[in-house]
Chains A and B, each alone.
Chain A
Amino acid sequence: MTDAAGAIAGIPARPAHRTERLLGWIATVDHKRVGILYLITTLGFFCLGGLEALLMRVQLARPENALLSPQAYNQLFTMHGTTMVFLVVMPLLTGFANYLVPLMIGARDVAFPRLNALSYWLLLFGGLLLYFSFLAGGAPNAGWFSYAPLSEPQYSSGPGMDYWALGLLVLGIGTIASAVNLIVTILTLRADGLTIRRLPLFVWMTFVNSFLMLAALPALNAALVMLLVDRLLGGHFFLAQGAGAAAGRGPVLWQHFFWSFGHPEVYIMVLPAFGIISEVIPVFSRKPIFGYEFVAGSTVAIALLSYGVWAHHMFAVGLGHPFDAAFSGASLLIAVPTGVKIFNWIATMWGGSIRFTTAMHYAIGFLAMFTLGGISGVMVAVVPIDWQVTDSYFIVAHMHYVLFGGTAFAVLAGVYYWFPKITGRMLDERWGKVQFWLTIIGFNLTFFDQHLLGLMGMPRRVFTYPAFPHWGTLNLLSTIGAFVLGVAVLVLVWNVWASVRSGAIAGDNPWNAWTLEWAATSPPPEHNFEQLPPVRGRRPLWDLAHPDAQDPDVGDADAQTAPAAVAQTRFAPTALGMLLFLASEAVFFIFLVVSYVYLHSDDVRRASSVLDPRITGAYTVALLASSATIWMAGRGGRLHRGWLAATIILGAVFLVGQSREYWRLLREEVTTSRDVFGSLFYTLTGIHGVHVAAGVLMMLVLAGLAWRASKPALDREALESVALYWHLVDGVWIVIFGVVYLGGRYLA
């Protein structure tokens, strides 16, 4: 291929050496390549998770089977769940977002391309760290939800749970970084005329979803940090403490924190799928989405409500009828915005001219399967029903209907829909339909039986079961279904592999779709667009092709000439990104402080008398003063080096003070392992101290750069970001000081 032809097609001229090509992929910061890396890596992890599932199903095919020991089986089901949630579904949806969002908003790349690449590598290394546990003494085996105290060192003495917690922490950092990146991208890099109200629904769903990630992942991170303190530093967070009313709080605290993450997490795993369906169904019905505003608005409703339903995973704990009833009501309510979207999608098809492409097969399959899964979800929102079926195979069935019949079907629709854009070639439609039928038949054969098994009394997370009537038959059917699914996956992989090499050439817009990504070539060049069509509504390419039948104006009629998005935001992208990151950090600290309040008891109050608020108060004043000095350092739009130096010194003073206090307490034998107070104190102040140290480091870097050469604009933007971070760190300290040092005396 000549250089000229390559340049026209947007494909870079083939480099001379194979290593350069490989290096190109390893060193890439192009969102499209990062997206493809995500997709390939998650496919690999999907195969691992699927293999784990097949092994489990073989073990369960017969009653009292002895193929796998319970130890092996328990590692498999833990890794299957952890892999599918953290290494497949979440990154798969992130990979799609990475690839598509800049294209769909007419941008050249994401806002922070290097951060984007980092998110990918954190996925890969987090996953490898997790899987390394198989070689290092045993994979985690306390379930993907890792309930305490089973996950504590007394009951899980191998290193597996440590790998689990550390691996997930690494992955969590990448996820938060992705969320920040996508939000800033969508807010600042939209093409002219593309107002928020004109966003394609996939972009909107990704946008809302990213906020969900920012607010949910910190809950998990807090829980993981506390678990690691328990496991590695002898902490007492999640253990039952002695006798009395507060004795059982530790184990329950884990569940509260985990599900505060875990429930928003399931919406994180499904909202982008809703976005995919909202793109696919209109195109193959040849009609715009019915009720864009309701679909977009109900998404926000789901995001907000998802924080109020977490304890429906805890109905069996026995936390009291009022508590259970409140969460039941919220859970029944959240079914409404989720469910009415089904009506919107069906109404989109009504009156249309339906093309039954493979993508459309999957989209319609999604509608039926997700409805079934949603219905079983409504069933378990009814508390007494949940009291019977929770922790049985009924829940396994429910979960897989929404995650596989829902998200995975939507992802498959997305794969068949966007594969032409990504690779420039069409996936074979005949094999696609074979793959679809194998998938839907295999899927229902695997998981429908599990509803029945749950109703028959089969608990979940069991490596085998007694020979009760029909349990063996249903399990065997389920296993057969799982292997049919395995064949379906092989067909998909083969289709992808063959089509990449020799599929039909796709052209820019093989589906006659309407959103901006179809205005680029297939595949797009590195800079994405040679020229963007004008954007006056939600379907720019429709408007272009039908100048006499354009979509009605949405929003500002003059928005076509609206200033570029980046000028519409008050903050520079870097500061905006920092602000979003700080929001997630604030949630993280809130959870740590909540743990202090929840675990507080007379013992904790007595133990906290060892603290001296006056000395610490002095160091606190230094820290608070440093907020004032860093504000002074940024006054007048310049970076005042003297004030910056003062901030660094005050921060260092705080750190020295903190270290002296630690030294004093350690000499008095107050440690993380002594009691709950020790665990709480060192975790709260220690994590905060790490944040202070990181802030001081950042300021040192800033100071070094400022001394070397003067770049006022860059200095000011960097200082703005660091200052925001510093103010949060100080604000968090006020709360910690108040709760731990002062509140200890007054909290009952």
Chain B
Amino acid sequence: MIRAWFLQPRFGLMPIFHPISQQAHAISELFAFVLVLSAVVFAGIVGALIYIMWRFRRGRDGSGAEPRPVFGHSRIEILWTAIPIGIVGVLFVLTLVAMRASDPDAPADRAPDITVVGHQWWWEIRYPAAGVVTANDLHIPVGRKQLVELQSADVIHDFWVPRLGRKLDMVPGRHARLWLAADSAGTYFGACAEYCGNEHAWMQIRVTAESPATFASWLAAQARPAPALGGPSDSGPALGAQLFSRLTCVNCHAVRGTSDTATVGPDLTHVASRPSLAAGRLVNTPENLRRWMAEPDLIKPGSYMPNLHLSDQDLDHIVAYLLTLR
């Protein structure tokens, strides 16, 4: 009954109370219980204060004489120490149970299903078995938990998608693992939750949970290399591809199926099919793609994407090329 109250629409804004996985559910249940307990305690104390302020205000008895000194009462004090110890003892047991339920053991010996590497300020996402490398756009099949390994390429980041469960730090040099699962299809938002420098605020992550069949076809599409460019060699996309190589884009960005294999920046093989750009900073539209390349230092100041001061024509060509990378 309490849980139902929390799941009503008013709390739909609170992803923590709108869990979409068993693990997140375990946390929200415990949280709801603790919240109710806290409300009772707080109401008790505030109620006592209000009552005392009214009943023992000066002048109520009219005399203004000093009240009788009372120095303590050992039995009462022992009681009000023992009861809180009992309460925190119960909380501790509930903690242990919920820890196991919300963060089941993640084996360290087998290969992970997904590897997420944190960079300043984007997410590198790999599906090792399928040979897929993408960025910022994580897909998982509904109902099948995925073993995720978290790494960092630079500073400490943190992977947090509240509707799916706990957050976990990505510490350089450490390989942390957790289970990721969703019980129903949908798009779930998360963010980096460890201050990682200038653009920590724009390091959003989007998890799309879809049926296993849809997931499989998405994965297969991502595994394909970039489509070969047909058409005349002076068409927009072809010119764009040449600019891509000449203008140092290849020094950071990989496009599988070409000779561009750098891993400093996000893999762009299927960039046109992603929902967002710059880790959630922009919705992925052709206009925004153009804006991003024209002035990255204004859109995401501090980001390592340089402003190459491209001419309008060059921009047109490169955007045309990138739009073919579906």
Contacts and interface: CB of A to CB of B under 8 A. Distances in A.
A456 interface: yes
A348 B80 CA distance: 15
A336 B81 contact: yes
A196 to B, nearest CB: 17
Contact of B42 (A155, A372, A469): A372
A387 B53 contact: no
Contacts of B197: 74, 150, 155
Contacts of B58: 286, 353-356
Contact of B166 (A337, A384, A464, A465): A384
Given A290-B70, A375-B42, A391 B91 contact: no
A368 B46 contact: yes
B173 A387 contact: no
A343 B41 CA distance: 12
Given A150-B156, A336-B84, A241 B173 contact: yes
Given A240-B172, A328-B95, A455 B17 contact: yes
Interface in B171-213: 171-174, 176, 178, 189-201, 204
A433 interface: no
Taking residues whose C-beta sits less than 8 angstroms from the other chain, chain B's interface range is: 35 or more
Given A287-B69, A387-B102, A457-B191, A340 B154 contact: no
Given A346-B45, A354-B58, A465-B201, A384 B27 contact: yes
Contact of A382 (B34, B46, B171): B34
B77 A294 contact: yes
Contact of A70 (B16, B56, B302): B302
B99 A384 contact: yes
Contacts of B191: 457, 459
- Identify the interface centre among B34, B42, B69, B120: most chain A CB within 10 Å of its CB: B69
A339 B52 CA distance: 19
B286 interface: no
Contact of B95 (A325, A376, A465): A325
A551 B155 contact: no
Contacts of A328: 92, 95
A285 interface: yes
A293 interface: yes
A584 interface: no
B77 A291 contact: yes
Interface stretch (B60-68, B137-145, B242-250): B60-68
A423 to B, nearest CB: 26
Given A150-B156, A336-B85, A391-B167, A367 B45 contact: yes
B156 A147 contact: yes
Interface in A305-356: 316-318, 321, 324-325, 328-329, 332-333, 335-337, 339-340, 342-344, 346-347, 349-356
A343 B79 CA distance: 11
Taking residues whose C-beta sits less than 8 angstroms from the other chain, chain A's interface range is: 35 or more
Contacts of A321: 99-100, 103
A399 to B, nearest CB: 15
B301 interface: yes
A233 interface: no
A152 to B, nearest CB: 8
A384 B167 contact: no
A140 interface: no
B14 A456 contact: yes
A368 B302 contact: no
Contact of B45 (A250, A342, A462): A342
Contact of A318 (B34, B102, B176): B176
- Identify the interface centre among A150, A243, A349, A459: most chain B CB within 10 Å of its CB: A459
Interface of A: 69-71, 74, 142-143, 147, 149-150, 155, 240-243, 247-252, 285-288, 290-294, 316-318, 321, 324-325, 328-329, 332-333, 335-337, 339-340, 342-344, 346-347, 349-356, 364, 367-368, 371-372, 375-376, 378-379, 381-385, 387-392, 452, 455-457, 459-466, 469-470, 546, 549, 551-552
Interface of B: 13-17, 26-27, 30-31, 34-35, 38, 41-42, 45-46, 48-49, 52-53, 56-61, 64-73, 76-77, 80-81, 84-85, 88, 91-92, 94-96, 98-100, 102-103, 120, 154-156, 158, 160, 162, 165-169, 171-174, 176, 178, 189-201, 204, 280, 301-302
27 contacts: A71-B198, A155-B154, A251-B173, A290-B73, A291-B72, A325-B99, A333-B88, A336-B88, A337-B81, A353-B59, A353-B61, A368-B46, A375-B41, A379-B34, A382-B98, A384-B99, A384-B102, A384-B166, A385-B30, A385-B31, A387-B103, A387-B165, A387-B166, A388-B31, A391-B195, A457-B15, A459-B160
Given A349-B53, A353-B61, A455-B14, 12 more contacts: A71-B198, A71-B301, A240-B173, A316-B168, A316-B169, A340-B77, A379-B35, A387-B102, A387-B165, A459-B191, A462-B201, A464-B201
